[in-house]
Amino acid sequence: WDKAETAYQESLALMQELEKLLGTPEARCDLSCSLASVGWVAEVRGDWDTAEAAYQESLRLARELDGLQGTIQSYRNLSRSLDGAGRVAQARGDWDAAEAAYQESLALARELEEVLGTPRARRNLSVSLDNVGRVALSRNDLASADDAYQESLTIRRYLREELGTPETYRDLSVSLNNVGRVAETRGDWDAAEAAYQESLALARELEEMQGTPRARRDLSVSLDNVGWALLTRGDKAAAESAFRESLEIRLELEEMLETPEALGDLSLALENMGQVSEAQDEWDTAQVAYQQSLQIRRMLEKMLGTPQAQQDVSTSEEHLRRLSQKRADLGEL
């Protein structure tokens, strides 16, 4: 990521010079895209202040260009900048701002899909639907979340059948996880497990085909989802197997990538191992896992300072309090 950041920053400096020199719509478009790229790298690194500044400047330019040009490319650039601004707002816990950005992006994506009807336009629409669904789910608006996720799933099944590319496999796997999450929130574990198992099968295929860090992370996400469905049904041994496989992947990815996302994923995998151990009355194992997860989350809270990072610390502390109380009630402490 250091190399990527250096390259994007150099490109940004060049685009800023060209925009000052030429002042053309094309130069401003290039500058807007460059800013979005810088924002994306900052986002991956958890530098939300830099990400927000880059995305907001990119969005300002994209709005100006859309007002001047109103072209397909200006629509695409505006939609991309809105998505970036939405992700920053989401990370900061500002769901109103996130929803406004995502809904505006969705409206643009629908227009582009109607005009173009290309696989790319359809995929972009599915991404916007996922973003809107995520906001709805965070607000417990399950009907709206399900509508958005189901529409996205329909698009992605079609694209997988038509194109059969690794990207379409991954997109379908993500959509199935989203649909499963809504079913899980509703308590419909049959539907949730069916969606999660189908997603896991796709994720395994992709991991075997590609073996990339992203493919491995996707596999770990699917394993976590299946693990939770199994644990809820009382199949503790199978749940532990899924969680343990996910933990092994995440330990490897954290060592390789050293990003805030990889650290967060590892803390979640440890939390899952703690919960399945607790469910099996393996108190010592559960306590160690919870403590390791909490240690990582305290580090992330200092590093990021986001509402989600703070909430994660509270969740870990609550796990340890609950476990301590259980052990005291049973006379172990």
Contacts of 329 (CB under 8 A, 6+ apart): none
- CA separation for the pair 27, 31 (Å, rounded): 6
Give the pLDDT of the chain (333 residues) as one tens digit per residue: 566 667 666 676 677 776 777 777 888 888 888 888 889 889 888 889 999 999 999 999 899 887 766 788 888 989 999 999 999 999 999 999 999 999 999 999 999 999 999 999 999 999 999 999 999 999 999 999 999 999 999 999 999 999 999 999 999 999 999 999 999 999 999 999 999 999 999 999 999 999 999 999 999 999 999 999 999 999 999 999 999 999 999 999 999 998 999 999 999 999 999 999 999 999 999 999 999 999 999 999 999 988 999 999 999 999 999 999 998 988 865
Which pLDDT belongs to residue 27?
Answer: 81
Q: Which of 180, 255, 179 is nearest to 216 (CA)?
A: 255
What six digits make up the tokens of 325? 């109380």
Between 1.10.10, 1.10.3470, 3.40.1350, 1.20.58, what CATH number should domain 261-333 receive? 1.20.58
Question: CB neighbours (10 Å) of residue 165?
Answer: 12
d(CA 328, CA 309): 29
Query: What pTM was computed for the model?
Result: 0.87
Q: Which residue has the tokens 């807007």?
A: 32
- Residue extents of the structural domains in the chain: 10-37+54-68, 261-333
Contact (CB, 8 A) for 79 and 105: yes
